[in-house]
Amino acid sequence: MSVPCALRSYSGKVAQRPYDPSPAFDARGKIPAAPYDPSPLPGTAPAYEAHLVLHPARYQRPDTTWPSHLESVSPLVSELSSRARAGGSLAGFGISVSEGDDDLPEAHPPWDAHRDKAMRDPPNQAAEDELFWLYAYGSSGTFVQWHTPLSLRTLPSGEAMRSQLVTLFENAQNTNEAHIYVCTHGMRDCRCGVVGSELIDALRAQWEQHAQRCASQGQKPLKRVRIMPISHVGGHKWAANALVYPHGDWYGNLRTTDAPYVQTTHISLLLRAALAPASSRHDIHDMRERLVVWPRWRGRLGMNALQQQAHRDAWGPSVVFPAHLAPRAREELQATETHDTVALRFRSHEGQWFEVEGRLGETLMSVAKRHNLPAIEATCGGELECATCHAYLCDANADQLAQGQQDTPPAGADAILGDDAWISDEEDDMLEYALRRKASSRLTCQVRVTPGMAAWMKRGGRIELPPH
Ligand code: FES
C-alpha cells in the first residue's frame, strides 16, 4: 500500500518519516488541478474569535525547518497553543507561526524539522531565547501588533493577555496594510508544502509586477500587501490554503494555474481581495464583499460554520459549484439491501456490553448511532469537527469482561482496520480535543467496519466507549 506522507501508523510502526512531496503529485508527476478533495468549502474555516500569528524576531525560521508540530521546537508556541485549547485562557484563538524577515540572522542550529511532537521541552525547563512579534487579527477586520517582541519570559499570564488583546482590538485603527498568508507547512502535509510553496512564489511575483506597474504610472498601490508563509492552519485536503488578513477571509483549493483566482495578466482576484477594504458596509457599494473570491472561499474569522455558509448564501454568487455537491472526506461505502454484517462488541465505561451488527463499509460512529449506544454524540455528523465520536479500539485484558488494554492500539491493527489503520493529520488534530485520549483512541467516524473485525472480536477485541 502506498502511504500518503500526512498519515502516521496507528500501531506505531512508522514513527517518523521525512517530508516526501510525491503524494502531492498525480501519476504524471504534476500538481493535480484543484481540489484534492471535493468536499464543500464554505463553512470549513475554524470558528476562531481571533488569530494570533507569531513572527520570529531574533532569527529566521524558514518554513523548510518547521517540524510537523512546532510545539516540539518552540516552548512559546507550545505555551500559547495549550492556552488556546478548550478551557484555556486563550480558548477560541488560533495560533500559528510565520517565518520571520529575510534580513534576520540565520538560526544556529535551525529548528529540527524531524523533531517529534512528543519531544517538546517542558516550558519551565527550556533554555528559551526565542523572540516573536505577535500579529493579532480580530473578527471585524482589525489588525494589531503587540508592542514588544514576546518571549516565554515576557509572556503575560492567563487572562491578562486575553484582556489586553481585547482592549487592543477595541482601539485598533484602520491599517493600510494587508497580509496574505499561505500555508506552506510541508512537514505537516506534503500538499501544503508543494502547492502552497508554488502559490506563494506566484503571488509574490504578481505583487512585484503590480507595484512596478503602479510606480511606472507615478502611483502607489492602494495598500501594502505582504505575502507570507504560515504554519498549519487546518484543511490540508483543500491545499493550497491562503488567508487574507485583516479581512479574515480563508480560501482553499488554490492553484497557480487557476486563472483568474491566482493567475492573470493583470492582478489576481486574490490580490484584489487583499486590496479591498477590510470591513464590510453591507450595502450596494460594499467593495469588500464584492471582491471576495467566492468560488474558493472557506469562511471568515469570527463566524462559525453555519454563519459562514449563511454568509456565502447571502453574499456569494447564486451559482452551485459541482465540487460542493460531492460527499465528505471519509465516505461510507454504499450500503446495499443485502449488506454483509459483522457482529461487533461495544462496552460502556460502566461495564455494560452491547452486541450489535455493523454493516461492512459503514463507520463505527454510524453503527453506534443506529443502535443508540451511549457516549457517541457525533454532533458534527462525521465531518471531523467535534471529537464527540471518540472511543477506544482495544484488545482484552486477562479478565475478558473487565476494561480492555486502552493504553495500546489493538495487536495487528493493520489486519483489523485495513486502510483505516492510518490516522490522518486531521483526525490526529481533532483527537487532541477528545477527553482522556489514549494510545487506542480513535474517532469512530473515521473507522469503517471491515471483515477483519470478525476475527478480532473473537479474540476479545472490543470498542470501549468513553465516560462522557
Ligand atoms: S463525528 Fe465529529 S469528529 Fe467524528
- Condensed to tens digits (0 to 9), the pLDDT of residues 105-152 reads 998 888 988 887 777 766 665 566 789 999 999 998 999 999 999 998
Cβ atoms of 191 and 233 within 8 Å: the answer is no
pLDDT of residue 86: 83
CB of 244 within 6 A of ligand 1: the answer is no
CB of 262 within 6 A of ligand 1: the answer is no
Task: List helix spans (H) across 24-122.
Answer: 75-83
Which of 56-69 are b and which e, b meaning 16 or more Cβ less than 10 Å from the residue's Cβ?
Answer: bbebbbbbbbbbbb
Convert the pLDDT of each residue in 337-365 to its tens digit. Answer: 446 899 999 999 999 999 999 999 899 99
Ramachandran sector of residue 221 (left: φ over 0; alpha: ψ -120 to 50; beta: rest): beta
Of ligand 1's atoms, which has the minimum distance to the CA of residue 430?
Answer: 3
- How distant is the alpha carbon of residue 95 from its chain centre? 11
Q: Is 424 exposed, middle or buried (0-12, 13-18, 19+ CB in 10 A)?
A: buried
Classified as helix, coil or strand, 458 is helix
Convert the pLDDT of each residue in 288-321 to its tens digit. Answer: 888 898 889 999 999 999 999 999 988 887 544 3
- How distant is the alpha carbon of residue 340 from its chain centre? 35
Q: Positive or negative, the Cα torsion across 316, 143, 254, 329?
A: negative
Cβ atoms of 189 and 237 within 8 Å: the answer is no
CB of 342 within 6 A of ligand 1: the answer is no
* Mutation test residue for ligand 1: of 39, 330, 362, 383, the one with most atoms within 8 Å of CB: 383
Q: Which of 129, 161, 188, 184 is nearest to 52 (CA)?
A: 161
End-to-end CA distance of the chain: 36
What torsion, rounded to 10 degrees, do the Cα atoms 297, 298, 299, 304 define? 150
User: Which DSSP category does 445 fall into?
Assistant: G
Classified as helix, coil or strand, 337 is coil
Cβ atoms of 270 and 252 within 8 Å: the answer is no
* Mutation test residue for ligand 1: of 362, 389, 393, 428, the one with most atoms within 8 Å of CB: 389
- ∠ CA 111-59-155 to the nearest 5 degrees? 90
d(CA 32, CA 213): 32
CB of 388 within 6 A of ligand 1: the answer is yes
User: Which DSSP category does 32 fall into?
Assistant: P
Predicted TM-score (pTM) of the model is 0.68
Q: Which of 451, 455, 435, 453 is nearest to 443 (CA)?
A: 435
Taking 70 as the pLDDT cut, the residues of the chain under it are 1-18, 121-128, 258-267, 318-339
Cβ atoms of 113 and 119 within 8 Å: the answer is no
Can you give the length of the chain in residues? 468
CB of 385 within 6 A of ligand 1: the answer is yes
CATH of range 341-464; options 3.20.20.120, 3.10.20.30, 3.30.590.10, 1.10.150.20: 3.10.20.30
Q: Which of 125, 136, 114 is nearest to 75 (CA)?
A: 125
Q: 249 — phi, psi (to 5°)?
A: -90, 135
CB of 95 within 6 A of ligand 1: the answer is no
Q: 226 — phi, psi (to 5°)?
A: -105, 135
pLDDT of residue 200: 93
In the sheet that 242-245 helps form, which strands lie side by side, from edge to edge? 224-230, 177-183, 242-245, 249-251, 297-300
Residue with cell 471519509: 330
Tell me how crowded residue 168 is: count the other CB atoms within 10 A of its CB: 17
pLDDT of residue 4: 39
pLDDT of residue 124: 61
CB of 380 within 6 A of ligand 1: the answer is yes
Residue with cell 488494554: 405
CB of 368 within 6 A of ligand 1: the answer is no
CB of 387 within 6 A of ligand 1: the answer is yes
pLDDT of residue 427: 84
Distance 341 CA to ligand 1 centre (A): 23
Of ligand 1's atoms, which has the minimum distance to the CA of residue 382?
Answer: 1
Which residues in the chain are classed under CATH 3.10.20.30?
341-464
Of ligand 1's atoms, which has the minimum distance to the CA of residue 445?
Answer: 4
